[in-house]
Chain A
């Protein structure tokens, strides 16, 4: 009987463990049942959960990468947009782009008056100097864009006598001369009509000078070649 009791003791020990496990497992199964999940399906579900968790992690990383790309693209677009706007502005300032705005159109034509005896007929012609003065006056009055017979005044423009005609931007032009200027209409007009100003002087010689105010003056862009052989952007001003 004593020997029998010894083995019973060990078996009883395992039985205690068995009891604990049984109750725990029953509770777990009850809990699973309560959550309305058949235990057979549980494995599949937990597997799906694991997989979708992993998937979610990958997608999250993808979202991060994409977000970064989007911000980079937006930044790039912003930069490109800034450059584009800057370029358009620079082209306009440089006179490469056609512009439009309020301003005046000055028309100059040779005098119809016949030169009297002892008078030089040259005095009754429109000279390069006259046009230069008009253009100068217009710029002084705040003109933002000026063209002479469709030749836009740019940094390299010249107005020079070229025999019977006048050379502007190395293009020969003849009368009548039409000077387009964009700027404050009143300022431009009054600058031209200044007492003893350019128009007074020209008219004294009988040169036909007409100033026409317009709300929409068209000034074409410079169409010639731009070739800077000697001038290079100076370093300190060359960041942009």
Chain B
């Protein structure tokens, strides 16, 4: 379970070492990208814990979800409708659901271990 945390730290360090900063007008897209990545990470962990992880589904899910969210944001921008809210809500719900499942899984495991 340590690997994702290490990966996160590595990513943060890489970004800190480079003078990376996104253009302000893209900040909305980056935000939705972060949500998509978060959703992907928790979804991946959940799948992994449940033993249903498939790398093809995982990678394609990450790419397609990010692309869809970006396109939605872009179209919403053009139409003057905050479609980005839809993507945000969808990702947030999935994240909560996945975290809930992970939590239950871990608790289950832990309690079983301690009850034994």
* B59: A residues at CB distance < 8 A: 10
| Complex interface residues of chain B between 27 and 86 (CB less than 8 A to chain A) | 27-28, 30-31, 33-34, 37-38, 40-41, 44-45, 47-48, 51, 53, 55, 58-59, 62
Q: Is the CB of A28 within 8 A of B24?
A: yes
* A215: B residues at CB distance < 8 A: none
| Residues of A contacting B: mostly | helix
Interface size for B (C-beta < 8 A) is 42
* A5: B residues at CB distance < 8 A: 3
Q: Is the CB of A15 within 8 A of B4?
A: yes
Please give the distance in Å from A110's CB to the nearest CB on chain B.
102
- Nearest residue (CB) in B for A37 is B24
A229 to B62, CA, bound (A): 98
Q: Which of A16-24, A51-59, A189-197 contacts B (4 or more CB under 8 A)?
A: A16-24
B15 in contact (CB, < 8 A): yes
Q: Is the CB of A15 within 8 A of B14?
A: no
- Nearest residue (CB) in A for B51 is A3
B115 in contact (CB, < 8 A): no
A7 in contact (CB, < 8 A): yes
Q: Is the CB of B4 within 8 A of A11?
A: yes
- Nearest residue (CB) in A for B6 is A12
A31 to B27, CA, bound (A): 11
The number of residue pairs between A and B whose CB atoms lie closer than 8 Å in the complex comes to: 122
A27 to B25, CA, bound (A): 14
Q: Is the CB of A14 within 8 A of B44?
A: yes
Q: Is the CB of B20 within 8 A of A18?
A: no
| Complex interface residues of chain A between 101 and 153 (CB less than 8 A to chain B) | none
Q: Is the CB of A25 within 8 A of B31?
A: yes
A25 to B12, CA, bound (A): 11
* B3: A residues at CB distance < 8 A: 5, 8-9, 11-12
* B9: A residues at CB distance < 8 A: 19
- Nearest residue (CB) in B for A29 is B27
A193 to B114, CA, bound (A): 148
A48 in contact (CB, < 8 A): no
Beyond A17-B37, A39-B27, list 10 extra A-B contacts (CB 8 Å): A8-B3, A10-B55, A11-B41, A11-B48, A12-B8, A14-B41, A18-B38, A18-B41, A27-B22, A28-B21
Q: Enumerate 21 A-B pairs (CB-CB under 8 Å) in ascending A order.
A: A3-B51, A7-B44, A7-B45, A8-B1, A8-B3, A10-B53, A11-B45, A11-B48, A12-B6, A13-B7, A15-B4, A15-B5, A15-B41, A17-B37, A18-B38, A18-B41, A20-B20, A23-B11, A25-B31, A28-B22, A42-B24
